Amino acid sequence: MSSGALEGLRRRRSLATAAKERAFSGAMLGSLLVAAVALVALLVQVVVAGSPRLNGDLLQRFPSSVPTRAGARSAIFGTIWVIGTVAATCIPVGVAAAVYLEEYAAKERWYNRLIEVNIQNLAAVPSIVYGILGLAFLVRGPLGLGQTVLAGALTLSLLVLPIVIIASREAIRAVPSSIRLASLALGATRWQTIRRQVLPAAVPGIATGTILALSRAIGEAAPLLLLGALTFITFVPEGLRSPFTVLPIQIFNWISRPQDEFRVLAAAAIVVLLVILLAMNALAIWLRNRYQRRW
Amino acid sequence: MPIGTALEGQESPAGAPPVLRGRRRWGEEAIRLVLFACALLSMATTLAIVVSLLEPTLSFFGEVDLVEFLSGTIWSPLFAEPRFGVLPLVTATVLVTGIALSVSIPLGLLTAVFLSEYSPRRLRAVLKPGLELLAGVPTVVYGFFALTFVTPLLQHLWLFGDPPGVFNAASAGIVMGIMIVPTVASLSEDAMGAVPQALRDGAYALGSSRLQVSTKVVVPAALSGIVAAIVLGVSRAVGETMIVLIAAGGTPKLSFDPADAMQTMTAFIAAAGIGDQPTGSIGYKTIFAVGSALFAATFVVNLVSIRLVRRFREVYE
pLDDT of residue B19: 55
Q: What is the mean pLDDT of residues B38-62?
A: 93
Which residues between 199 and 218 in chain B have a beta carbon less than 8 angstroms from any beta carbon of chain A? 209-212, 214-215
Q: Are residues A82 and A47 in the same domain?
A: no
pLDDT tens, B66-118? 888 888 889 988 887 888 899 999 999 999 999 999 999 999 999 999 999 99
In DSSP terms, B75 is beta-bridged to B84
CATH of the domain at A238: 1.10.3720.10
Same domain, A47 and A74: no
**CA-based nearest residue in chain B for residue A178:** B1
User: B241 near A222, Cβ under 8 Å?
Assistant: yes
Shared domain check, A266 and A142 = yes
The verdict on A46 and A125 lying in the same domain is: no
Q: What is the pLDDT of residues A4-22, one digit of tens each?
A: 776 776 677 678 888 888 9
| Long-range CB contacts for residues B120-127, cutoff 8 Å, separation at least 24 | B127/A32
> What CA–CA distances, in Å, run from B100 to B106, B172, B248?
11, 8, 13
User: What confidence tier does B312 reach under pLDDT thresholds 50, 70, 90?
Assistant: low
* Same domain assignment for residues A132 and A92: yes
In which band, very low, low, confident or very high, does the pLDDT at B214 lie, cut at 50, 70 and 90? very high
Please report the domains of chain B, with CATH numbers, ordered by start residue.
Answer: 87-316 (1.10.3720.10)
Mean pLDDT, consecutive 10-residue stretches, chain A (295 aa), reads: 66 79 92 92 93 85 83 91 96 96 90 91 92 90 84 95 95 93 94 94 91 93 86 81 90 90 93 93 84 70
Q: Please say whether the dihedral angle defined by the alpha carbons of residues A171, A175, A177 and A179, taken in this order, is positive or negative.
A: negative
Q: Is the confidence at residue B17, as pLDDT, over 60?
A: no
Q: Which residue has the higher pLDDT, A235 or B190?
A: B190
Answer yes or no: do A173 and A245 share one domain.
yes
The pLDDT-based confidence of B18 (bands split at 50, 70, 90) is low
- The residue among A15, A133, A139, A165 with the most chain B CBs within 10 A of its CB, best to mutate, is A133
Judging contacts by C-beta atoms under 8 Å, the chain B residues touching residue A35 are 107, 111, 130-131, 134, 178, 181
CA distance A6 to chain B (A): 17
What is the separation, in whole angstroms, between the first and last Cα of chain A?
61
Distance of CA B298 to CAs A120, A229, B11, B234, B303, Å?
Answer: 13, 25, 45, 9, 9
Q: Look at residue B250 in the predicted model and tell me its pLDDT.
A: 86
Which B residues 121-180 touch A at CB under 8 Å? 127, 129-134, 136-145, 147-149, 178
> A155 and A200 share a domain?
yes
Q: Which domain holds residue A173?
A: 58-291
Mean pLDDT of B53-67: 91
Tell me which residue in A29, A45, A96 faces B148 most closely, judged by beta carbons: A45
Q: How many domains does chain A have?
A: 2
pLDDT of residue B125: 86
pLDDT at B33: 94
Residues A9 and A92 in one domain: no
pLDDT given at position A30? 94
Phi, psi of B206 (to 5 degrees): -85, 5
**Final residue belonging to a domain, choices A14, A32, A53:** A53
Nearest by Cα to A21 from B107, B112, B212: B212
CB contact under 8 A, A219 and B46: no
* Mean pLDDT computed over B147-164: 88
Q: Is A174 helix (H, G, I), strand (E, B) or coil?
A: coil
Q: Note the pLDDT of residue A106.
A: 87
ipTM of the complex: 0.89
Answer yes or no: do A95 and A176 share one domain. yes
| pLDDT class of B173 with cuts at 50, 70, 90 | very high
**Mean pLDDT, range B272-282, rounded to an integer:** 84
Q: Are residues A179 and A216 in the same domain?
A: yes
Would you state the pLDDT for residue A249? 94
Q: Domain boundary residue among A53, A69, A85? A: A53
Q: Are A176 and A114 contained in the same domain?
A: yes
Q: Are residues A20 and A88 in the same domain?
A: no
> Which residues of B fall within a CB distance of 8 Å from A104?
2-4, 32, 35-36
Structure-model confidence comparison of residues A144 and B145, the more confident one: B145
What pLDDT shows up at residue B5? Answer: 47
Of A31, A129, A219, the CB nearest to B295: A129
Rounded Cα gap, residues B99 and B247, in angstroms? 14
Cα Rg, chain B, nearest whole Å: 25
Contact call for residues A104 and B2 (beta carbons, < 8 A): yes
pLDDT score of A97: 96
Judge contact between B232 and B239, C-beta under 8 A. Answer: no
Closest partner residue to B270 (CB to CB) among A128, A212, A270 is A128
What are the CB-based long-range contacts (under 8 Å, 24+) for B280-283? B282/B60, B282/B63, B282/B64, B282/B77, B282/B82, B283/B77, B283/B78
Taking CA B209 as the corner, what is the angle to CA B208 and CA B211, rounded to the nearest 5 degrees? 120
